[in-house]
Amino acid sequence: MYSLCNKGLLVFLLLMICTQFSEARVKVENGIKSMVYLSPKISLKPGSVSNKFYYDIDFPKGHIAIKSFDAEVVDEAGVSVPLHETYLHHWVAVRYYQRKGVINITYNNGNRVFQKSDHIIAGNGGVCTNNLPEFFGLGSETRKTSTYVPDPYGIEVGNPLYVPAGYEEKWMFNIHAIDTRGAIDPLGCTECRCNLYNVTKDEYNQLLKSSYLGGFKCCYDGTQCAVKNGVESVNRNVYLKYTVRWVDWSDFVVPVKVFILDVTDTWQNTGIHDCLIEYDVEQSTNGVVTNDYISIRKSNVSIPVAGDVVYGVGHLHSGGTGSALYGEDGRVICSSKPIYGQGNSAGDEAGYIVGMSTCYPKPGSVKISKVETLSLETNYNSTTIHTGVMGLFYILVAESSVTLNGPVQVHEESYVPFLLWGSAVFGLAIFGAIVIAYQKRKQSEDGYLFIAT
């Protein structure tokens, strides 16, 4: 009896210690809570690609308002990994609902699968919800792109009223990383040039069109980009280190919706939001005369709500020169410019986009109506071709029908908000299209939803 009591006491003390340790990791500064997490291990060798899905990732619990979502790639020692070693093509965080007590997991070709009805994607506000459902996500620009949601606003998550009965809210990652150590053509690897990957079929074993020169169909999980002769094939483990900042939900917080727009959206021609995610930039032939090697792509879109824009940012790949969102009357809603690195250290890699400028309009100063047609414009340098580029744009909108129920609560910012977000992905990018396209394809074939192991 004494021994059992001692064992019970030991277990209790261990649980108390673990609980205290967990709680101690949550930092509170100026009323904002924060937690630093690590993704599952990502194993890479020179030229290799990892593009996996990680379900049920660590994420703050409860009914909260997200204030920012920061991320970067680090090694096993926690040291930041530069883009010229591991290129972060995209990462995205997607919210989903999973049926409680699910145990009917089967295996198919090495992949775990849930029954379709046991797993529900909870997308953002729109408009490309079929293939861009993420709440957060970017690419190479992660380290120096602010994602701070200004007061009194917040991205609402964890509201039990929105969770279907019998389900629980969870989060997943899709992380697409390309190891370019020793690569013959690092830029070509990051642009997923098919010839460098020696790929003629996509991950579903479907033959690619001869006109498809590059894009995510050629740099899927497990593919290999060409490296120089003699490069030693040494594995390295990296992680996505991500920091979430939040406040507990209250009447002081005004909810905002996440909208992700895509310059490849076909809505203006078809009336359907078929967002293609990526496109190619052809080499300019008239720049010699005009001295203006710029490729311009435009699309129109209308979002399903009216309200105030409180944040905006674009997502571009290398070669991008800027993007902008315009109102129906031509006014600039937000213009976002790339920040290119100048050096060799992580966060300042020469030739790479290491950040995007953001927009924080004065509350109430930038409004969008529900029936308004917006115009998205994306620009790329066209002195050379670029494959698999993206032109995404993220905005946060506070609906006009939403008002404050209490006095505004302001949180002081004691750090430079060089955070990340999304999409951009996106590179978004990016991003969620791979996840959802894969899921939609498999659902149509056998009624199951694949989950990567």
Which residues pair with residue 244 across a beta bridge?
A: 35, 69
- Are the CB atoms for 123 and 162 separated by under 8 Å? no
Please tell me the predicted confidence (pLDDT) of residue 124: 93
Please tell me the predicted confidence (pLDDT) of residue 131: 85
- Give dist(CA 220, CA 222) in Å, integer: 6
Q: What is the largest CA-CA distance in the chain?
A: 93
Which residue type, as a one-letter code, is found at position 337? K
Please tell me the predicted confidence (pLDDT) of residue 428: 35
- Are the CB atoms for 227 and 185 separated by under 8 Å? no
3-state secondary structure the chain: CHHHHHHHHHHHHHHHHHHHHHHHCCEEECCEEEEEEECCCEEECCCEEEEEEEECCCCCCCCEEEEEEEEEEEECCCCECCCCCEEEEEEEEEEEEEECCCCCCEEECCEEEEEHHHEEECCCCEECCCCCCCCEEECHHHHHCCCCCCCCEEEEECCHHHCCCCEEEEEEEEEEEEECCCECCHHHHHCCEHHHHCCCECCCCCECCCCCCECHHHCCCCCECCECCCCCCCCEEEEEEEEEEEEECCCCCEECEEEEEECCCCHHHHCCCCCCCCEEECCCCCHHHHCCCEEEEEEEECCCCCEEEEEEEEEECCCEEEEEEECCCCCEEEEECEEEECECCCCCEECCEEEECEECCCCCCCEECCCCCEEEEEEEECCCCEEEECEEEEEEEEECCCCCCCCCCCCCCCCCCCCECCCCCCCCCCCHHHHHHHHHHHHHHHCEEEECC
Please tell me the predicted confidence (pLDDT) of residue 272: 82
Peptide bond into 417 cis (omega under 30): no
Q: At 43, phi and psi to the nearest 5?
A: -100, 125
Which residues pair with residue 90 across a beta bridge?
A: 176
443 φψ region: left (φ > 0), alpha (ψ -120 to 50), beta (else): alpha
- Are the CB atoms for 37 and 58 separated by under 8 Å? yes
- Give dist(CA 453, CA 346) in Å, integer: 29
Q: How many CA atoms lie within 13 A of 237 on its CB side?
A: 7
pLDDT in tens, the chain (453 residues): 444 444 444 444 444 444 333 334 899 999 999 999 999 999 999 999 999 999 999 999 999 999 999 999 999 999 999 999 999 999 999 999 999 987 544 444 445 555 667 889 999 998 887 789 999 999 999 999 999 999 999 999 999 999 999 999 999 999 999 999 999 999 999 999 999 999 999 999 999 999 999 999 999 999 999 999 999 989 999 999 999 999 999 999 999 999 999 999 988 778 788 888 999 999 887 654 445 788 999 999 999 999 999 999 999 999 999 999 999 999 999 999 999 999 999 999 999 999 999 999 999 999 999 989 999 999 999 999 999 999 999 999 999 865 444 444 444 433 333 333 333 333 333 334 433 443 443 333 332 232 232
- Give dist(CA 65, CA 193) in Å, integer: 40
108: its two tokens: 């198919």
Which residue type, as a one-letter code, is found at position 371? V
Q: What is the pTM of this model?
A: 0.82
- Give dist(CA 109, CA 204) in Å, integer: 12
